[in-house]
Amino acid sequence: MQEISNEIIISGKSIGFVPTMGFLHEGHLSLVKASKSENDITIVSIFVNPTQFGPNEDLSKYPRDFNRDESLLSENGVDYIFYPNVDEIYPNGFQTYVVQEKISSLLEGAIRPVHFRGVTTIVSILFNIVKPRRAYFGQKDAQQCAVLKRMVTDLCFDLEMHICPIVREPDGLAMSSRNVYLSLQERMDALVLSRSLNTAAGIIKSGERDCAKIKSEAMSILTQVPSASPDYFEIVDFDTFETVTTLNSKKSYFLLTACKIGKTRLIDNQLIHL
Ligand code: AMP
């Protein structure tokens, strides 16, 4: 991969890069489309990264289907798929990790302690292998984007970060490879995430600025569904990801939620500009 990337760069062409864990859907393909429209060459990686899964998480049962992914990517005009083995990325003797300190410790990071260390490490490795001019990530994983943007700035990675909007199913469920775990009933129940976000956004639009009130409305929606057990509903500053208590005008915030539907943990968010 490094040799191919070197040749592309020497020939004066730009590389757009879309890192994924595979089992692709329209959300991933929207990143591919963005990359193709802005770069000469688009490279997609497929790697289910073990270091970002905690010991009791779904690494071994994470959905995989390389053949389907390969045809989707070739139909969508991707130039190269980087599909390494775990042993190639983490060979015997591997002992170096990248840690983003502050944003990584909040919310998802508080609940999934090794998660962002795994993400920043694999993305650094992939950036060093693929050497992209532009890298594409989804706002679906808003905290991941904030962690990675901070890492790219702090460590002077010589590339542009592009964050693309959340792609949803027609009924509002944010697309995710993990949606395949949901039973028919759970698939309906899972709409409670986007419903809680829309309700909170509506309350804010009608003038509410007290975050405690907004969060308690959203939480009451999440807890109405018997299969739903929310980890959090939070309102955070766009850049720092710190929790806020009162909303100010001319600022941007994320409404964020993580909620288990049955055994499946889903996340969703909405960006608010005041
Ligand atoms: P994953 O394969 O889940 O690690 O996701 C790979 C990339 O696709 C990440 O940058 C995600 O944020 C992005 N992504 C996942 N789901 C969506 C979605 N529904 N809309 C937009 N981007 C997404």
- pLDDT, tens only, 231-258: 999 999 998 999 999 999 999 999 999 9
Phi, psi of 138 (to 5 degrees): -100, 140
The sign of the dihedral angle between the CA atoms of 73, 23, 135, 142 is positive
Q: Report how far ligand 1's centroid is from the alpha carbon of 39 (Å).
A: 19
Average pLDDT for residues 8-33, to the nearest whole number? 98
Beta carbon of 28 within 6 Å of any ligand 1 atom: yes
- 48 alpha carbon, distance to own chain's centre: 13
Q: Take residue 40 and report the two structure tokens written for it.
A: 């000469």
Confidence of residue 106 (pLDDT cuts 50, 70, 90): very high
Beta carbon of 143 within 6 Å of any ligand 1 atom: no
Query: Half-sphere exposure of 206 toward its Cβ, with a 13 Å CA cutoff?
Result: 7
Phi, psi of 89 (to 5 degrees): -80, -40
Beta carbon of 138 within 6 Å of any ligand 1 atom: yes
The letter for the amino acid at 126 is: L
Beta carbon of 137 within 6 Å of any ligand 1 atom: yes
Nearest CA to ligand 1 atom 18: 27
Residue 196 · residue 233 · CB < 8 Å: yes
Ligand 1: which atom is nearest the Cα of residue 167? 20
Confidence of residue 222 (pLDDT cuts 50, 70, 90): very high
Three-class SS state of 54 = coil
28 is annotated as an active-site residue = yes
Which pLDDT score, from 0 to 100, does residue 25 have? 98
Q: Say how far apart CA 243 and CA 235 lie, in whole Å.
A: 6
Q: Say how far apart CA 229 and CA 232 lie, in whole Å.
A: 9
Average pLDDT for residues 207-220, to the nearest whole number? 98
Average pLDDT for residues 41-66, to the nearest whole number? 97
Which pLDDT score, from 0 to 100, does residue 120 have? 98
Q: Say how far apart CA 52 and CA 113 lie, in whole Å.
A: 9
Ligand 1: which atom is nearest the Cα of residue 23? 2
Q: List 266's β-bridge partners, or say none.
A: 259
State the alpha helices, DSSP H only, in the chain.
Answer: 2-10, 26-38, 66-75, 86-89, 108-111, 115-130, 142-154, 184-189, 191-205, 211-224
The structural domains of the chain, with segments of one domain joined by +, span 2-164, 177-273
User: Given the structure tokens 């060979």, which residue do they identify?
Assistant: 91
Beta carbon of 69 within 6 Å of any ligand 1 atom: no
Q: Catalytic pick from 25, 28, 115, 162? A: 28
Which pLDDT score, from 0 to 100, does residue 236 have? 98
Nearest CA to ligand 1 atom 6: 20
Q: Report how far ligand 1's centroid is from the alpha carbon of 64 (Å).
A: 15
Question: 111-144, pLDDT tens digit by residue?
Answer: 999 999 999 999 999 999 999 999 999 999 999 9
Nearest CA to ligand 1 atom 19: 175
Q: Say how far apart CA 29 and CA 267 lie, in whole Å.
A: 19
Greatest Cα-to-Cα distance within the chain, rounded to the nearest angstrom: 58
Average pLDDT for residues 188-209, to the nearest whole number? 98
Number of H helices, E strands in the chain: 10, 8
Average pLDDT in the chain: 98
Specify the CATH number of the domain 177-273.
Answer: 3.30.1300.10
CATH architecture of 2-164: 3-Layer(aba) Sandwich (3.40)
Question: 59-84, pLDDT tens digit by residue?
Answer: 999 999 999 999 999 999 999 999 99
Beta carbon of 129 within 6 Å of any ligand 1 atom: no
The sign of the dihedral angle between the CA atoms of 134, 140, 144, 145 is positive
Q: Report how far ligand 1's centroid is from the alpha carbon of 26 (Å).
A: 9
Which pLDDT score, from 0 to 100, does residue 204 have? 98
**Each residue of 255-269: b (16+ CB within 10 Å) or e?**
bbbbbebbebbbbbb
